[in-house]
Amino acid sequence: MGLGVLMYPMYNTFKWVVFLFLYILLNIKSSTVKKIASIIFSFIFCFCTNFNNHESNDQGLDPNIIIIFMDDLGYGDIVNFGAIDYQTPNLDELANQGMTFTNFYSAQAVCSASRAALLTGCYPNRIGISGALFPQSKVGLNENEVTIAEMLKEKGYSTAIFGKWHLGHQEKFNPLNHGFDNYLGIPYSNDMWPVDYDGNQILDESNWKKKAYPQLPLMKDFEKIDEIRDLNDQSKLTTLFTEESVKFINKNNDKPFFLYLPHPMPHVPIAVSEKFKGKSKQGLYGDLMMEIDWSVGEIVKALEKNNIENNTLIVFTSDNGPWLNYGNHAGSTGGLREGKGTSFEGGQRVPTIMKWPNLIPIGSVSNQMASTIDLLPTIANLVSTKLPNHIIDGIDITSVLKGDKKSNPRNNFYYYYGDNNLEAVRKDNWKLVLPHKSRSYKNVLPGDNGYPGPYYQIQAEYSLYDLRRDPGEEYDVKELYPKVVFELEKLVESARKDLGDNLTRRIGENRREPGFSNTRREPGFSNTAED
């Protein structure tokens, strides 16, 4: 029990006694008494205000932290960001009661990399995680990296993950070895299974998916407790992880906790429970979004039931943009360029909402730049704990959460993709795209009903975009703003010196290795791959 729990009732009584006493003094005719009373009143008022701001959490405890991390959710996939033909009332209310971020970024536009970044506060290429880890991968999150869970566990937090891990499936990489007390979920993406696009088990032993993927396991802590074998099994995951999250909240309502809820969807294959089938006007994808919204509502209701909603920070965001070649089984970028697997805005700018009534102004909007890598240092500040001893890339954005419009803690950002390709940099509203090959979803037809369409390959040219006026990255203005290009090139050089750049064969001075499942690397073996 914190000191605030013991002091708060006494403080409340003391406050009103003092205010009554001062009120009486202020009504005495003596001018000297009035002056003294006025000074005392001002002092007490300031003290009480400060006490309220810092000690009036529901239970006087450090804040609970909940991160809801979606998979392949696009910038335009919730109503507050422009979605149509389905409703997201719980997410709308989360935004109404919290802060909406319009310039929030995943650290890389693919699964494992973005998850490593969120949990460690580092660009994923700094810590040796790139692309998406596969069942054959020999790497995972290095044991020397410090996760949000480990940091909070040191502060006495209960910690849990319910959902998709995807940072190494071997035992040494298990979430319980990275700061989590409880784990129920799948070790990698929900499409990494020997099942065809219609949801049927593949029996042909020569089929590449049959050879590459074992049955998709459902893990509880270190043990496999079940297998996800068909779309019916997939349809139960959103509800399962939501219900486990609610149980965890109920169990830990009297002490601080960290809940990490990385939903496996709307990453394909998408599936929805019976209670939401046919509920939207947008088909299966809309039904799924309504179930995700329901999940958020259940989390909020659990907080309210336990009277801890005022002392809980909720973060809702996504690992990257939508996988657009899946057509009607993919989300929307909201008009941003390209999608998942690219460093254009549609790949990395993600819808984000945060709520904490004790800190975040109700119904606020932040246009300041921020990223998932900023969560770890921000949380460290909010719970008054120290940062890791090694280099991290995240920046404390507490001032932004408080609604300070003049604060701009993150004024630049690096867009890396692949193993270590520096493809763009951003400073303020300017984005400099560097020459690189990229997948594109243009000029080809997308797939339909769970089947993928092809990719189109493009050569991205050296370009400058004003994201304030041109978030779709259509108009190259480098010839108009040579001074801006010059300033951004300084950032490019700084990134290449620090983190390296495979496109220009720069090694980088401050990269760290991932964890390896064995004691040596396997020559010529690709440890990661991309979706």
The answer to whether 277 and 287 are in contact (CB under 8 A) is: yes
Catalytic site residue 48?
no
CA 46 to chain CA centroid, Å, is: 36
Half-sphere exposure of 338 (CA within 13 A, CB side): 20
**Degrees, nearest 5: CA angle 153-156-162:** 50
329 φ, ψ (degrees, to nearest 5): -105, 15
Catalytic site residue 111?
yes
CA 4/CA 255 separation, integer angstroms = 13
CA distance readout (Å), 203 to 82, 168, 270, 488: 42, 27, 22, 53
Parallel, antiparallel or unpaired: strands 456-460 and 436-440: antiparallel
CA 405/CA 427 separation, integer angstroms = 17
The answer to whether 147 and 118 are in contact (CB under 8 A) is: no
Give buried/exposed letters for 326-343 (b at 16+ CB in 10 A, else e). Answer: bbebbbbbbebbbbbbbb
Burial of 464 (0-12, 13-18, 19+ CB in 10 A): buried
| Residue whose entry in the numeric block shows the structure tokens 């029996």 | 203
Query: Which DSSP symbol is given to 77?
Result: S
CA distance readout (Å), 238 to 83, 164, 341: 20, 11, 24
DSSP letter for each residue of 386-441: PPPSS-------HHHHTT-TT--S--EEEEEETTTEEEEEEETTEEEEPSEEEEE-
CA 275/CA 291 separation, integer angstroms = 8
- Among 111, 263, 329, 436, the active-site one is 111
CA 349/CA 388 separation, integer angstroms = 27
Helix 111-120 and helix 375-382, axial crossing angle in degrees, nearest 10: 20
DSSP letter for each residue of 331-365: ---TT-SS-TTSSSHHHHB--EEEE-TTTSPTTEE
- Among 48, 54, 166, 169, the active-site one is 166
- What residues act catalytically? 111, 166
